[in-house]
Amino acid sequence: MELGFSEIIVVILAIIVLFGPDKIPSIARDLGLGVRKMKGAMEDIKTEILKETDNPVAEIKREIEKVKEAAKEYDPTHELRRDLDLTAKSKTDQLSDSHQGPVSR
């Protein structure tokens, strides 16, 4: 909502007629004080909202870092190597058990 110059003059004249020239400074002071209080309240609300929304984000970031660390420590090839070693060892054992010496022809 924008006010033109002529509309502002009409509003000022209406205020002077309604309240008189003596009360205008105190009304302006009270109005300025009210605006400052509203701005302060808005800043407080904004700070609270940011604080509340920041906590879950920070918590999620910490959880992501924990998962990354756990992923670095986890080695899926370890179990595969162990299984391969066991399989190779069992095959070696089977071959050595079935071997009865040199075959003569």
Domain contains 93: no
Residue 48 resides in a domain: yes
H helices, E strands: number in the chain: 3, 0
In a domain, 52, yes or no: yes
pLDDT digits (tens, 9 = 90+) for 21-78: 888 889 889 999 999 999 999 999 998 888 777 677 778 888 899 988 888 777 777 7
In a domain, 11, yes or no: no
Residue 54 half-sphere exposure, CB side, CA atoms within 13 Å?
A: 6
pLDDT for the residue 101: 56
Rounded to a whole number, what is the distance in angstroms from the first to the last CA of the chain?
111
Determine, yes or no, domain membership for 3.
Answer: no
Would you give the distance in Å from CA 3 to the centre of its chain?
Answer: 41
Residue 96 falls within a domain, yes or no? no
- pTM score: 0.41
In a domain, 36, yes or no: yes
Contact 27, 15 (CB under 8 A): yes
Domain count, the chain: 1
Range of the domain at 56: 19-88
Instruction: Identify whether 102 is part of a domain.
Output: no
pLDDT at 96 over 80: no
